Amino acid sequence: NTFALFSNYIRRNFQIRMTELSAQELCDIVGGELIGSTSVKISGPEQIDKAEKHHVTFIGNRKYLKYWDESKASVAIVNSNLKIEEDDTRAIIKVGNADLAMAKILEAYNPPTPVFENEIHPTAVVHETAKIGMGCKIGAGSYVGKDVIIGDGVILYPNVSVFDDTTIGMGTIVWSGTVIRERTEIGMGCIFHTNVSIGADGFGYRPAEDGRGLVKIPQIGNVIIGNGVEIGANSCVDRGKFSSTIIGDGCKIDNLVQIAHNCIMGRACIMAGHSGLAGSVTLGDGVIIGGSASIKDHTNIASGAIVGAGSGVMNDIEAGKTVLGYPATDSREMLKQWVALRKLGKQ
């Protein structure tokens, strides 16, 4: 059909402009072992069942081996513990971890980011008291408020708002539509994707004394974000009621995530899409929160714990423990309950 023809045209023309690498060059990038050879130049990566001759693909799990015979890919990057059929026309690159190798390959083929014709666009509004570091770029329609401090090499894409007394560490990238409220402290090398909200009021209300309506509780704290934090599109981090909402170094937060007032996240935590922390939740280091999981307020989740997708956490979780279900409980116990319910339904 017309749409398919147009899509193929765009794909072909886009790939022509991409980097083309040999199998040996790909092998050098991932530090693998090259088996076999191909003269085909590789213009990009693709999943195994959709790959064409000019693609490199990845096999990190035994279940994908069955697709290799039918795949059109000329190069496969494969976990070294997997046995794979070799042939004379295609190349295999053995690596310790195909997923980590994939990250290196994707970086090699990563298209360039949008171009700034001016380091600070004429339509950007930068307060005279703001301090802007060397090599910063500020896009059209952006706003930088009073006494803001922006470190070297920070990029604010068009239509970003950074309000008063905020600090942003060097090398941080902020995509369009993001709003960073006053007094926020942001570390180095962070990435905020489109329409992130940092430092909005926490959700605090109490019934009025006369029983008519609600009284808003002022939220006078701020948000502190460590180094190397990445926050996905349309996610929200609310400021503290009294002190600070804190996101630790290296945390990775998916799209559409809610982090409420006075939450504290340790280092290298992961939160998947549609998950949320109610007020004053504390996460230790390396905690993983699955998609659509909900965490009750004032709950402590210790380091290394895992919360399964869709779970509802009502109580504290010990270090290293995995919980599932609603309400969440030990994963092994919850699995036993599910098996029992399934058997009950068959009686």
- pLDDT score of 15: 45
Kindly indicate the confidence band of residue 10, based on its pLDDT and cuts at 50, 70 and 90.
Answer: very low
Q: What is the pLDDT of residue 261?
A: 98
Measured in whole angstroms, how far is the alpha carbon of residue 161 from the centre of its chain? 21
Cβ atoms of residues 250 and 229 within 8 Å: yes
Q: CB-based contacts of 246: which residues, under 8 Å, 6+ apart?
A: 223, 224, 225, 226, 263, 264, 265
Report residue 41 as tokens.
Answer: 């130049």
| 303, pLDDT greater than 50 | yes
How far apart CA 128 and CA 139 sit, in angstroms, is 17
Distances, alpha carbon 248 to alpha carbons 92, 121, 151, 157, in Å: 39, 32, 19, 24
Above 50 in pLDDT, residue 54? yes
- Residue 337: per-residue pLDDT: 84
**Terminal C-alpha separation, the chain:** 51
Helix axes 98-108, 23-30, angle to 10 degrees: 120
Mean pLDDT: which of 86-95, 306-315, 327-336, 337-346 is highest? 306-315
Q: In terms of Cα–Cα distance, which of 21, 98, 104 is closest to 64?
A: 98
327: preceding bond cis by omega (within 30 degrees): yes
Residue of 54, 127, 261, 274 marked catalytic? 261
Judge whether 261 counts as a catalytic residue.
Answer: yes
| Better pLDDT: 85 or 205 | 205
User: Quick one: pLDDT band at residue 14, thresholds 50, 70, 90?
Assistant: very low
The residues that bridge with 126 in the sheet, in sequence order, are 144
Token pair belonging to 125: 């509004």
Average pLDDT over residues 130-148: 98
- The confidence score (pLDDT) of residue 2 equals 52
Answer with the residue of higher pLDDT: 341 or 4.
Answer: 341
pLDDT in tens, 18-47: 589 999 999 999 999 999 999 999 999 999
**pLDDT confidence of residue 16:** 43
CB atoms within 10 A of CB 319: 13
Determine how many CB atoms are found less than 10 A away from the CB of residue 227: 17
Tell me the two tokens of residue 14.
Answer: 């886009």
**Residue 148 scores a pLDDT above 80:** yes
Q: How confident is the model at residue 339 (pLDDT cuts 50, 70, 90)?
A: confident
Write down the mean pLDDT value for the chain.
93
Please tell me the pTM assigned to this model.
0.89
CA dist., res. 52 & res. 64, Å (int): 16
Q: What is the pLDDT of residue 98?
A: 97
Q: What percent of the chain has pLDDT over 70?
A: 95
Model confidence over 76-89: pLDDT tens digits? Answer: 999 999 999 888 89
Q: Compute φ and ψ for 315, nearest 5 degrees.
A: -135, 165
- Measured between alpha carbons, how far is 302 from 308 in angstroms, rounded to an integer? 15
> pLDDT band at residue 336, thresholds of 50, 70 and 90?
confident
Q: Looking at residues 179-204, what average pLDDT do you find?
A: 97
- pLDDT at 51 exceeding the cut of 70: yes
pLDDT at 223 over 60: yes
Structure tokens at 267: 């280092």
Give per-residue pLDDT as tens, 279-300: 999 999 999 999 999 999 999 9
Q: What φ, ψ does residue 339 adopt, rounded to 5°?
A: -65, -45
pLDDT digits (tens, 9 = 90+) for 236-279: 999 999 999 999 999 999 999 999 999 999 999 999 999 999 99
Backbone angles phi and psi of 245, in degrees to 5: -85, 130
